[in-house]
Amino acid sequence: ELKVEQNPLFLSMQEGKNYTIYCNYSTTSDRLYWYRQDPGKSLESLFVLLSNGAVKQEGRLMASLDTKARLSTLHITAAVHDLSATYFCAVDMGAEYGNKLVFGAGTILRVKS
Protein backbone atom coordinates (compact mmCIF):
# COMPACT_ATOMS: atom_id res chain seq x y z
CA GLU A 1 0.00 0.00 0.00
CA LEU A 2 1.36 3.38 -1.02
CA LYS A 3 1.84 5.84 1.81
CA VAL A 4 2.51 9.53 1.28
CA GLU A 5 3.88 11.61 4.11
CA GLN A 6 4.17 15.37 4.12
CA ASN A 7 6.02 17.47 6.59
CA PRO A 8 5.58 19.76 8.21
CA LEU A 9 1.81 19.55 8.59
CA PHE A 10 1.63 23.14 9.75
CA LEU A 11 3.99 25.94 8.84
CA SER A 12 3.84 29.49 10.09
CA MET A 13 6.38 31.79 8.50
CA GLN A 14 7.16 35.44 8.17
CA GLU A 15 6.85 37.27 4.91
CA GLY A 16 10.12 37.33 3.02
CA LYS A 17 11.42 34.06 4.45
CA ASN A 18 12.23 30.83 2.63
CA TYR A 19 11.06 27.35 3.53
CA THR A 20 10.66 23.86 2.10
CA ILE A 21 7.80 21.37 2.35
CA TYR A 22 8.73 17.71 1.99
CA CYS A 23 6.76 14.86 0.49
CA ASN A 24 7.98 11.28 0.97
CA TYR A 25 6.28 8.27 -0.56
CA SER A 26 6.73 4.59 0.01
CA THR A 27 6.61 2.84 -3.39
CA THR A 28 7.83 3.46 -6.88
CA SER A 29 6.15 6.18 -8.89
CA ASP A 30 7.41 8.48 -11.60
CA ARG A 31 4.63 11.00 -11.43
CA LEU A 32 3.83 13.42 -8.64
CA TYR A 33 1.54 16.41 -8.32
CA TRP A 34 1.37 19.44 -6.10
CA TYR A 35 -1.96 21.11 -5.43
CA ARG A 36 -3.05 24.19 -3.55
CA GLN A 37 -6.31 24.46 -1.61
CA ASP A 38 -7.76 27.67 -0.17
CA PRO A 39 -10.21 27.35 2.75
CA GLY A 40 -13.55 25.95 1.64
CA LYS A 41 -12.39 25.70 -1.96
CA SER A 42 -11.42 22.99 -4.38
CA LEU A 43 -7.90 21.97 -5.39
CA GLU A 44 -5.84 23.99 -7.84
CA SER A 45 -3.09 22.21 -9.77
CA LEU A 46 0.34 23.76 -9.21
CA PHE A 47 2.87 21.35 -10.66
CA VAL A 48 3.09 18.02 -12.45
CA LEU A 49 6.45 16.32 -12.05
CA LEU A 50 6.94 13.54 -14.56
CA SER A 51 10.45 12.21 -14.19
CA ASN A 52 13.43 11.89 -11.92
CA GLY A 53 15.20 15.19 -11.49
CA ALA A 54 12.23 17.22 -12.73
CA VAL A 55 12.17 20.77 -11.46
CA LYS A 56 9.34 23.20 -12.06
CA GLN A 57 9.06 26.82 -10.97
CA GLU A 58 6.14 29.21 -10.88
CA GLY A 59 6.63 32.53 -9.19
CA ARG A 60 7.84 32.01 -5.63
CA LEU A 61 7.23 28.25 -5.70
CA MET A 62 9.61 25.62 -6.99
CA ALA A 63 8.96 21.88 -6.96
CA SER A 64 11.38 19.03 -7.53
CA LEU A 65 11.22 15.27 -7.75
CA ASP A 66 13.79 12.63 -6.83
CA THR A 67 12.25 9.27 -7.72
CA LYS A 68 15.21 7.31 -6.38
CA ALA A 69 14.84 8.87 -2.95
CA ARG A 70 11.02 8.85 -3.33
CA LEU A 71 11.04 12.47 -2.32
CA SER A 72 9.53 15.66 -3.67
CA THR A 73 10.04 19.13 -2.30
CA LEU A 74 8.08 22.35 -2.62
CA HIS A 75 10.32 25.32 -1.95
CA ILE A 76 8.91 28.71 -1.08
CA THR A 77 11.07 31.73 -1.76
CA ALA A 78 10.46 35.11 -0.10
CA ALA A 79 7.00 34.18 1.11
CA VAL A 80 4.11 36.59 0.73
CA HIS A 81 0.73 36.55 2.46
CA ASP A 82 -1.08 35.40 -0.70
CA LEU A 83 0.71 32.06 -0.48
CA SER A 84 -1.25 31.18 2.68
CA ALA A 85 -3.16 27.99 1.85
CA THR A 86 -2.99 24.23 2.28
CA TYR A 87 -0.58 22.42 -0.03
CA PHE A 88 -0.98 18.77 -0.97
CA CYS A 89 1.33 16.43 -2.76
CA ALA A 90 -0.24 13.47 -4.55
CA VAL A 91 1.45 10.42 -6.01
CA ASP A 92 0.15 8.72 -9.13
CA MET A 93 -0.31 4.97 -8.73
CA GLY A 94 0.22 4.39 -12.45
CA ALA A 95 -1.87 3.10 -15.30
CA GLU A 96 -2.27 -0.35 -13.71
CA TYR A 97 -4.28 1.31 -10.95
CA GLY A 98 -6.22 3.72 -13.13
CA ASN A 99 -3.77 6.57 -12.42
CA LYS A 100 -5.48 7.10 -9.12
CA LEU A 101 -3.78 9.53 -6.77
CA VAL A 102 -2.75 8.97 -3.17
CA PHE A 103 -2.61 12.24 -1.27
CA GLY A 104 -0.50 13.42 1.60
CA ALA A 105 -2.27 14.89 4.61
CA GLY A 106 -1.48 18.42 3.48
CA THR A 107 0.65 21.26 4.82
CA ILE A 108 -1.18 24.28 6.17
CA LEU A 109 0.91 27.34 5.37
CA ARG A 110 0.32 30.65 7.12
CA VAL A 111 2.43 33.61 6.06
CA LYS A 112 2.45 36.40 8.60
CA SER A 113 2.93 40.03 7.65
Name the residues that contact another protein, by CB under 8 A.
4, 31, 33, 35, 41-45, 48, 50, 88, 90, 95, 98-106
Closer residue to another protein, CB minimum distance, 76 or 104: 104
Closer residue to another protein, CB minimum distance, 17 or 41: 41
Beta bridge partners of 47: 34
Closest among 44, 43, 2 to 24, alpha carbons compared = 2
Helix (H, G, I), strand (E, B) or coil at 83: helix
Nearest-approach distance from CB 48 to another protein, in angstroms: 5
Alpha-carbon gap, residue 72 to 4, rounded angstroms: 11
Closer residue to another protein, CB minimum distance, 26 or 99: 99
- Cβ proximity of 90 and 97 under 8 Å: no
Nearest-approach distance from CB 32 to another protein, in angstroms: 11
